[in-house]
Amino acid sequence: MLPESLILIYATRACLHRIQSFLQIPEASLRKDASTKPNTLVEIKASTLKWSDATSFSLSRLDFILKNGICGIVGKVGSGKSCLISGILGDAWIEGTGVIKCIESDRIGYVSQIPIVFSGTVRENIVMGLDWDPQKFDYSLKFAALSEDVKLLPHADLTIIGERGVTLSGGQNLVEPHITYM
């Protein structure tokens, strides 16, 4: 019994040390400006972005303007797509005198690659506390090509998913219908 307790104490101490090290990392220097040109959502000038101050990988000499419209960022694995998005969101380091200007708008959205599904019904995972609108809900399922999949679940959109319920396949991602429902 005592050796197991000592192992748990040592593991807890190591965890607390890692948490303390993380919390002592200095905040990224974020320079955002809400004054952009008309029809411009994001403007990046002479910026170098890094994940952290200690990271060797960086995106250098970034200069571009993102206009109104739909935009996708594509590229090879490890080419810096996530670093670029993190820079726009304010989560990456900006080195030197570079500037990232973003307008504040409810027309800009970010959809993570990792879906968040909590224990609850399909409906609750899509609506996420917003007012219930059956027409909007049906449109969201249709837009995400999930209408037929949801009908096949034991209790349709009232089927419990997540930790205590049915597991959805990777193709049955609820991020798209949630974004559409919003």
pLDDT tens digit sequence for 27-73: 544 444 545 566 777 888 777 888 776 667 778 888 888 887 777 77
**Does residue 91 share a domain with residue 41?**
yes
Q: How many domains does the chain have?
A: 2
Q: 41, 66 in Cβ contact below 8 A? A: yes
Please report whether residue 132 resides in a domain.
yes
**Does residue 88 share a domain with residue 51?**
yes
Domain of 134 in residue numbering reads as 120-181
Please report whether residue 12 resides in a domain.
no
pLDDT digits (tens, 9 = 90+) for 86-115: 888 777 777 777 777 777 666 666 666 666
Q: 100, 44 in Cβ contact below 8 A? A: yes
DSSP state of 119: S
Given 76, 102, 128, the domain boundary residue is 102
Please report whether residue 44 resides in a domain.
yes
Please report whether residue 6 resides in a domain.
no
Please report whether residue 26 resides in a domain.
no
Please report whether residue 113 resides in a domain.
no
**Does residue 137 share a domain with residue 98?**
no
Given 47, 72, 102, the domain boundary residue is 102
Lowest-confidence range among 33-37, 85-89, 128-132, 150-154? Answer: 33-37
Q: Provide the 10 A C-beta neighbour count for residue 20.
A: 9
